[in-house]
Amino acid sequence: MAKQGAFTFVLHSHIPYCRSAGRWPHGEEWIHEAAAETYIPLLRALYDLRDEGVAFHLTIGLTPILVEQLRDSLINDHLAEYLESHVQSANEDVARFRSTGAGNLAALAGRYEASYAQLLADYRDVFKGDLVGAFRALQESGHIEIATSGATHGYLPLLDRDSSIAAQIGVGAASYERAFGRRPRAIWLPECAYRPAVTSRSAGSIRERPGIEHFLEEQGLRLFFTETGSITGGRLVGKVRGDAVGPYELLAGRGAARSPRATHRTTFEPYFVGDSAVEVLARNSRSGMQVWSGEHGYPGDGAYREFHLKDEV
């Protein structure tokens, strides 16, 4: 018999702050493009599955800075304008290509016209111009779990003050509560960057700094996502609790009854971090390479569309 198993389906999304930062080729169109080509199609697919009675469950990370932008009225007004302009541009391209006898390009432009028209209809009529509210509805129906992140996506291990780390996590949790009506339970660490408890020495003084899990536990967060090497291998710099061996000595597996001597670590199970009630899951590098590698992933495939180019006509 085939073995049965399970996997954690986690999607993560983040856009730096780009409100009122101009339009093409850089600026606010960045978030409009992400909404048109990722967020709206994803929501459409999830709503269709829900309406068909499919009992799906997945985790979606939405950073606070992305959520706050998607809730902004100016960005939403501009998103509607972006979709409208693409419908109009595609319509004009259909006529232009037909006039030059380029029937294949006219057909392609027609497909884009229909696609953007559907995106605009979904945005206005199905999601009522509120993408964050649409994600919230899926969480409230039990189909998705939304994870938070640091307030401004600050790289936590490099922040000099622990108060800055606490603020990044605390403000991020507060933003999440405003948007989704409850406290977050999971967090995607910015850039997946984890820092264990460390002892630093400077000018003859000793400074003890707690691990990131300390600040997460203060906010009621119980799970974080980190990079593969944090679990499966990597050089530890700083303080180690106990006499365990392994990449980050603070981790203890469920199967080892939280023993600090656990040495078998994999991306396929969660681990408690030290004596905290916080657990960690790491990204699977093999899966990540299949997605992101320029040589082996989909961006390296000849059929992958170059989305930074634009017809100059």
Quote the pLDDT of residue 313: 64
From residue 25, alpha-carbon distances to 9, 21, 66, 288, 312 in Å are 32, 11, 20, 28, 12
Which tokens belong to 111?
Answer: 């497909």
**287, 297, 186: which is closest to 228 by C-alpha?**
287
Residues 10-72+130-292: name the CATH superfamily: Glycoside hydrolase 38, N terminal domain (3.20.110.10)
Q: Is the pLDDT of residue 259 over 70?
A: no
Where residue 76 falls (left for φ over 0; alpha for ψ -120 to 50; beta otherwise) is: alpha
**Phi, psi dihedrals of residue 86, rounded to the nearest 5°:** -75, -35
pLDDT in tens, 49-59: 999 999 999 99
pLDDT confidence band for 239 (50 / 70 / 90): very low
- For residue range 127-174, list pLDDT tens digits in order: 999 999 999 999 999 999 999 999 999 999 999 899 999 999 999 999
Looking only at the bridges linking them, the beta strands covering 223-226 and 186-188 are parallel
User: What's the mean pLDDT in 251-277?
Assistant: 63
Residue spans of the domains in the chain: they are 10-72+130-292
Work out the number of other CB atoms within 10 angstroms of the CB of residue 145. 17
pLDDT at position 287: 81
- Establish how many alpha carbons lie within 13 A of residue 124's alpha carbon, considering only the half-sphere containing its beta carbon: 14
3-state secondary structure 98-152: HHCCCHHHHHHHHHHHHHHHHHHHHHHHHCCCCHHHHHHHHHHCCCEEEEECCCC
Mean pLDDT of 108-113: 96
